[in-house]
């Protein structure tokens, strides 16, 4: 019996020591709109993640790490994770420079000369009109038809992409589903305050909760919910809620 207790204690201690810390938060625009696809970079580890459709993100890190937020068309922003509380980041639009227009030849005051210089030659005007007319015409289907014996790529209704298949969910989506499926009473019974529910769920994830299939298909079954609850019972005794910042 003593040997079994010693093994369990060692196992929980190992998980607690090796559990990965996470920094999570939300990115919004100046108009307080959620911003998806913002690149979040941990400067210390060079790890990169992207915000989800609701502007939420989660990245490995610890207090004191500097995070950089990058999105095309917006000013870059940097912020340090000073507490365990979620980071709230606002991005501002980048100023765009209007390209300078150079006028090579000024007006002379002579109507004939100025009209000749400013107006395009008739041959150029005709060529432009002919090109516009040609582009507007529909191509004959026989032009693009396959020749005998030539391979033709089949047309599919769905989208087809090469490379890594993007997950339908991320950890933030799964966290929201767990809170909705289990209900707030479940966490109240565990003595987890409402403000600490997200932090507690990330703590369970960091303890090795297997969720690759859930994130890939965007579906959490009843069996997955039971696995999560078993993981909660295993780790609840070692959970320490972060101290609220004064």
- Domain ranges in the chain are 16-91, 171-238
CA distance 117 to 23: 63
Q: How far apart are CA 120 and CA 178, in angstroms?
A: 67
**pLDDT tens digits for range 143-189:** 555 555 554 544 444 444 445 568 999 999 999 999 999 998 999 99
Q: Which of 88-92, 117-121, 233-237 has the lowest mean pLDDT?
A: 117-121
pLDDT of residue 122: 73
Question: Using an 8 Å Cβ cutoff, are 52 and 173 in contact?
Answer: yes
What mean pLDDT, rounded, does the chain reach? 79
Tokens 């090795």 correspond to 208
pLDDT band of 103, cuts 50, 70, 90: low
**Could you say which of 3.60.110.10, 3.20.20.70, 2.60.40.1120, 3.90.550.10 is the CATH number of the domain covering 16-91?**
2.60.40.1120
Is the pTM higher than 0.85?
Answer: no
Look at 100-104, 184-188, 234-238 and tell me which has the smallest mean pLDDT.
100-104
The answer, yes or no, to whether residue 12 has pLDDT greater than 90, is: no
Helix, strand, coil content of the chain in percent (nearest 5): 40, 15, 45
Q: What is the CA radius of gyration of the chain?
A: 30
Confidence at residue 244, expressed as pLDDT on a 0 to 100 scale = 59
Measured CA distances, 162 to 151, 155, 166, 183 (Å): 19, 15, 11, 39
- pLDDT interval class at 82 (50, 70, 90): confident
Residues 6+ apart with CB under 8 A from 179: 187, 197, 201
Please, is 21 exposed, middle or buried when counting C-beta atoms within 10 Å of its C-beta (0-12, 13-18, 19+)?
middle
């Amino acid at each position: 019996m003593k040997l079994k207790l010693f093994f369990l204690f060692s196992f929980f201690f190992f998980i607690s020591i090796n559990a990965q810390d996470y920094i999570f938060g939300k990115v919004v625009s100046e108009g307080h709109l959620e911003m998806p696809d913002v690149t979040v970079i941990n400067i210390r580890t060079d790890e990169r993640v992207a915000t989800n459709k609701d502007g939420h993100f989660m990245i490995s890190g610890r207090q004191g790490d500097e995070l950089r937020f990058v999105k095309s068309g917006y000013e870059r922003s940097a912020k340090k994770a000073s507490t365990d509380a979620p980071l709230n980041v606002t991005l501002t639009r980048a100023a765009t420079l209007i390209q300078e227009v150079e006028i090579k030849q000024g007006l002379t005051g002579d109507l004939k000369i100025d009209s000749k210089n400013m107006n395009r030659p008739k041959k150029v005007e005709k060529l432009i009109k002919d090109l516009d007319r040609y582009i507007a015409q529909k191509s004959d289907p026989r032009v693009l038809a396959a020749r005998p014996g030539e391979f033709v790529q089949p047309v599919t209704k769905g989208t087809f992409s090469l490379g890594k298949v993007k997950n339908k969910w991320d950890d933030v989506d799964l966290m929201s589903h767990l809170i909705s499926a289990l209900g707030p009473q479940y966490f109240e019974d565990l003595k987890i305050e409402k403000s600490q529910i997200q932090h507690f769920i990330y703590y369970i994830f960091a303890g090795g909760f297997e969720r690759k299939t859930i994130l890939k298909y965007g579906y959490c079954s009843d069996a997955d919910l039971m696995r999560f609850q078993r993981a909660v019972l295993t780790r609840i005794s070692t959970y320490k809620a972060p101290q609220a910042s004064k």
